[in-house]
């Protein structure tokens, strides 16, 4: 059994804050600062250029990738770190399209995170081969998979509502129709057990600053199924994905296996922070985590229904098709969220009217949930949100 009081103690959580936004930016794990300092002072500072070999910087993207692989049900050697998730979406889609050259349709849904769709749109335009990005309602995805689809590109858990796609059945249907599948695991990795191998997914991508607590700007990951790795031709053919970067050949030859999905110099300090943040997963059973997450979100929903009639639940009621968050619809959601944050309950807001709350059992418990709802109910009851300072929109919501 995972000891969640122990994991909670492993995070720096400011006094007086109930943090329900770990689905957007995970908090600082206790060991990260010391490891970052070590990387800066002892590695960069003392080893200088030698650290690429001596401190293992060059091997780090794959070493950390292997640890992520365990969390997403992928074999060692199938995940590599680097860049941002937007870039990894682009890479995965470019490679997938090249593996299915006769077809022109990329199928996605309008619950996807906009950057995934933006990156797809940009890629398709620069390919100039009359590809089509077909975006349907999430409920219509399954019926829209047919033998015109080259690539099915979906985010597993909807960032807005927490609605979760059935990864196994959609992957199977796509494969039956001859399409490749890319799963974006931004809101899944570190939130629940994912079984990429069991689903036979072709590609997966995700970020590490949400449920994996790698810190702002932590590098993203990409997974390519082992049997496809030597067939994919990287579109972003940077030197560190080359077979022999230090041969300095003028021609690009892709590296072996997943290494070819590397692009350029990795963010070493940032990746060291992520590597330290991943230590906690050695002590966590993902099934325990998921069970706790469901308990917390069910409690939240039950209490909101009892105490806050002003809002409606925008997330699926069935916890089996809901990720690790609950969203509430409220006309004045932005102001209400600002009022909540002013009282130490931190969630976030997604336009036009969605108040979002993440439930992260590593450091959130039932007390937090009960207290958060009580404070929310008070704000709604007294219209405490109805003040000019709570309506001023910041850049990041
Ligand atoms: C958070 C998130 C992103 C963010 O992309 P970055 O390149 O890391 O800024 C992209 N896609 C999804 C589905 C997300 O949830």
- How confident is the model over 300-345, as pLDDT tens digits? 999 999 999 999 999 999 999 999 999 999 999 999 999 999 999 9
The catalytic site residues sit at: 113, 184, 209-210, 356
Predicted local confidence at residue 259, as pLDDT: 97
Please indicate, yes or no, whether the overall pTM of this predicted structure exceeds 0.85. Answer: yes
Instruction: Answer yes or no: is the C-beta of 84 below 6 A from any ligand 1 atom.
Output: yes
* Most distant CA pair in the chain, distance: 69
76 burial via Cβ count (<10 Å: 0-12, 13-18, 19+) = middle
160 lines ligand 1 (CB under 6 A): no
Q: Which atom of ligand 1 is nearest to the CA of 87?
A: 7
Ligand 1 close to Cβ of residue 209 (< 6 A) = no
Q: Which residue's CA is the nearest one to ligand 1's atom 3?
A: 85
- The Cβ of residue 23 has, within 10 Å, a number of other Cβ atoms equal to 25
Ligand 1 centroid to residue 214 C-alpha, Å: 14
Cβ–ligand 1 contact at 155 (below 6 Å) = yes
Is the confidence at residue 18, as pLDDT, over 90?
yes
Q: Is 87 helix (H, G, I), strand (E, B) or coil?
A: helix
Residue 393 has pLDDT above 90, yes or no: no
Give the closest residue to 204 by CA, choosing from 173, 167, 178, 177.
Answer: 167
Q: Is the pLDDT of residue 397 over 90?
A: no
pLDDT per position as a tens digit, 168-223: 999 999 999 999 999 999 999 999 999 999 999 999 999 999 999 999 999 999 99
For residues 93 and 106, the answer to whether their CB atoms sit within 8 Å is yes
Q: How confident is the model at residue 394 (pLDDT cuts 50, 70, 90)?
A: confident
Across the range 243-257, mean pLDDT stands at 97
The C-alpha atoms of residue 183 and residue 335 are separated, in whole angstroms, by 34
The three-class DSSP label of residue 176 is helix
Domains of the chain: 4-29+285-391 (3.90.1150.10), 33-281 (3.40.640.10)
Q: Is the pLDDT of residue 396 over 90?
A: no
Q: Quick check: 96 pLDDT over 90?
A: yes
**What pLDDT shows up at residue 86?**
98
Residue 374's Cβ-count burial label (10 Å; 0-12, 13-18, 19+) is: middle
Q: What is the pLDDT confidence band of residue 392, given thresholds at 50, 70 and 90?
A: confident
Task: Compute the average pLDDT of residues 371-386.
Answer: 98
Q: Considering only CA atoms, which residue is closest to atom 6 of ligand 1?
A: 85
Dihedral (Cα; 329, 19, 393, 161), 10-degree rounding: -30
Residue nearest to atom 1 of ligand 1 (CA): 186
Residue 231: predicted pLDDT? 97
Is residue 276's pLDDT more than 90?
Answer: yes
CB 330, CB 311: distance < 8 Å? yes
Q: What atom of ligand 1 comes closest to residue 207's alpha carbon? A: 8
- Mutate which of 26, 82, 86, 216 for ligand 1? The one with the most ligand atoms within 8 Å of its CB, which is 86
């Amino acid at each position: 059994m995972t000891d969640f009081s122990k994991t909670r103690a492993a995070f720096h959580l400011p006094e007086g804050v109930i943090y329900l936004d770990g689905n957007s930016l995970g908090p600082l794990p206790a060991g990260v600062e010391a490891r970052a300092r070590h990387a800066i002072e002892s590695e960069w500072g003392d080893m200088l250029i030698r650290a690429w070999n001596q401190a293992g910087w060059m091997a780090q993207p794959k070493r950390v990738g292997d640890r992520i692989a365990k969390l997403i049900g992928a074999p060692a050697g199938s995940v590599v770190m680097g860049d941002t998730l937007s870039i990894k979406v682009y890479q995965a889609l470019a490679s997938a399209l090249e593996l299915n050259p006769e077809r022109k349709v990329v199928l996605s849904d309008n619950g996807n995170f906009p950057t995934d769709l933006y990156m797809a749109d940009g890629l398709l335009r620069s390919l100039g081969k009359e590809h089509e990005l077909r975006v349907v309602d999430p409920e219509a995805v399954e019926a829209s998979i047919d033998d015109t689809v080259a690539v099915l590109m979906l985010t597993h858990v909807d960032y807005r509502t927490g609605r979760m796609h059935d990864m196994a059945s959609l992957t199977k249907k796509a494969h039956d129709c001859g399409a490749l599948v890319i799963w974006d695991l931004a809101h899944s990795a570190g939130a629940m057990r994912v079984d990429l191998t069991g689903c036979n997914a072709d590609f997966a991508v995700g970020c590490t600053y949400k449920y994996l607590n790698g810190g702002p700007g932590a590098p993203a990951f990409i997974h390519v199924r082992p049997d496809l790795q030597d067939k994919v031709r990287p579109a972003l053919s940077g030197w560190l994905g080359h077979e022999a970067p230090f041969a300095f050949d003028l021609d690009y030859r892709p590296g072996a296996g997943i290494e070819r999905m590397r692009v350029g110099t990795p963010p070493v300090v940032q990746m060291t922070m992520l590597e330290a943040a991943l230590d906690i997963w050695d002590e966590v059973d993902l099934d325990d985590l998921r069970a706790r997450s469901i308990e917390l979100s069910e409690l939240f929903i039950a209490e909101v229904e009892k105490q806050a009639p002003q809002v409606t639940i925008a997330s699926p009621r069935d916890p089996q098709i809901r990720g690790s968050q609950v969203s509430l619809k409220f006309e004045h959601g932005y102001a209400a969220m600002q009022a909540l944050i002013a009282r130490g309950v931190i969630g976030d807001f997604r336009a036009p009217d969605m108040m979002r709350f993440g439930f992260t059992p590593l450091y959130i418990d039932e007390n937090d949930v009960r207290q958060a709802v009580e404070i929310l109910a008070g704000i709604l009851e007294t219209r405490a949100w109805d003040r000019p300072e709570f309506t001023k929109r910041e850049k990041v919501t």
